[in-house]
Amino acid sequence: MRKILTRTLLLSSLATLVPALSFAGWEEGVAAFQAGDYATATKEFQALVDSRSDCAQCYQMLGQALLKTKRAQEAVTQLRKGYDLEPQNDGIRLPLAQAYLESKRYNDAVKLLRTMNPGNLSQARQGVYHQMLAVALDRSGQGAEVLSSLRSAAQASPNDAEAQYRYGQACLAERDSCAVPALQKAVQLDSRDTDKKRSLLKAHLLAGRSARGSAKDSAYRSAAQVAEQLVASSASGDNLLLLGEAQLGAKQYSAAASSFERARSAGANTWLTDYYLGQAQTATKNYSAAETSLNAALGKTSNSNDEKLVWRQLGFVYEKAKKLAEAKQAYTRVGDSAALARVEENIRIAEENREAEEFNEALEELEAQQKALQEQMEDLPPS
């Protein structure tokens, strides 16, 4: 799940918590921090902790300034001092957890976050808390709990497109049905993001593969609608391939064939493109074209499993085109005993039919010869 959570780590940067204190140097440090002058802020807050070693909030601000300048390990040191002074202060625990994350101290982040009660945080900070916990769990090898944390983050931030997207991505990675509703919400909140649309499309495709009957058709139709929007914004080979796959599942075979041909022209010139194209052409009974596409796919496969998929489809095409010897060869390659038995039976029937036709033709020829001989005999003069 780490690819999914890469953006989580980058986007969960904690909104700065600024305590309300008033003494010499404090306001100068806060003003510099809020102006984005983190070097000056660091200098001001360093001076404060040097003179006020009992000021937990001073360590808090120094640590947050260090985080802003990517000095995570130094931030851990300063925030830890503030935490030791006020271990129940969530304003210190949250940035310390982030500093642990950025220092790759994931187990420490999990332990710290586990000491907190997210219910005591504002709704916005609850979302951040659960995002950070998800990252910490994932990076520390406790992935089983990641989905739950991301679900909590999404619930805490219902209008945050990124929170919904990360949750949906995690659902998709786990092949969970929560993927479609989460990603639909992410797209509704941020309809311009093509990554979100592509993930929603993949979620619909996944739902289509596992569904049956009308639910299957509905999932693929939804996938095709999203894919059309995606292609309208970017007609890349990959997007066109996804569009074709959705149309194929939705039984829009002619449209699918067109999309796969466009995908190939746009650079998606892979075995999968040719294989899907061959399936669409098979469905429209264009067996000659399907045979060409599937043979092209065979030349591009890189492993035996992919090759077997193509041979099985090719065997079906040969069978439909009455090329039974070729179908037998294809099914033999993949070890499909049921299909092989069916083809052999068809070959036997075809051979019997051929022999019967030859016998009938010979009989008709003999009858014609007998009739001609009879006519000739009738034409002879009487003796």
Say if 79 falls within a structural domain: yes
The pLDDT, as a whole number, for residue 10 is: 39
Say if 279 falls within a structural domain: no
- Give the mean pLDDT of the chain: 88
pLDDT tens digits, residue range 174-204? 899 999 999 999 999 999 999 999 999 999 9
Taking alpha carbons only, the member of 301, 302, 232, 283 closest to residue 262 is 232
Residue 380 — very low, low, confident or very high, per pLDDT cuts 50/70/90?
low
Position with higher pLDDT, 345 vs 141: 141
Total tally of structural domains belonging to the chain: 2
Q: For residues 51-66, give the mean pLDDT.
A: 94
Q: What is the C-alpha to C-alpha distance for residues 102 and 75, in angstroms, rounded to an integer?
A: 10
Say if 344 falls within a structural domain: yes
The pLDDT, as a whole number, for residue 270 is: 95
Q: For residues 299-313, give the mean pLDDT.
A: 94
Q: Taking the mean position of all CA atoms in its chain, how far away is CA 124?
A: 28
Residue 25 — very low, low, confident or very high, per pLDDT cuts 50/70/90?
confident
Q: Mark which of 82, 98, 128 sits at the end of a domain.
A: 128
DSSP assignment letter at 381: P
Do the beta carbons of residue 7 and residue 167 sit within 8 Å? no
The pLDDT, as a whole number, for residue 151 is: 93
Which of 131-145, 191-205, 208-222, 265-279 has the weakest average pLDDT? 131-145
User: Residue 329: how many CB atoms within 10 A of its CB?
Assistant: 16
CATH of the domain at 115: 1.25.40.10
User: Residue 79: how many CB atoms within 10 A of its CB?
Assistant: 28
Taking alpha carbons only, the member of 338, 323, 266 closest to residue 291 is 323
Say if 381 falls within a structural domain: no
Which of 60-64, 128-132, 215-219, 349-353 has the weakest average pLDDT? 349-353
pLDDT tens digits, residue range 139-164? 998 878 899 999 999 999 899 999 99
Residue 1 — very low, low, confident or very high, per pLDDT cuts 50/70/90?
low
Q: What is the domain extent for residue 316?
A: 286-361
Say if 112 falls within a structural domain: yes
Say if 120 falls within a structural domain: yes
The pLDDT, as a whole number, for residue 369 is: 64
Say if 84 falls within a structural domain: yes
Cα Rg, the chain, nearest whole Å: 35
Say if 201 falls within a structural domain: no
- Distance (Å) of CA 331 to CA 86, 298, 311, 340: 72, 15, 7, 6
Q: For residues 105-120, give the mean pLDDT.
A: 95
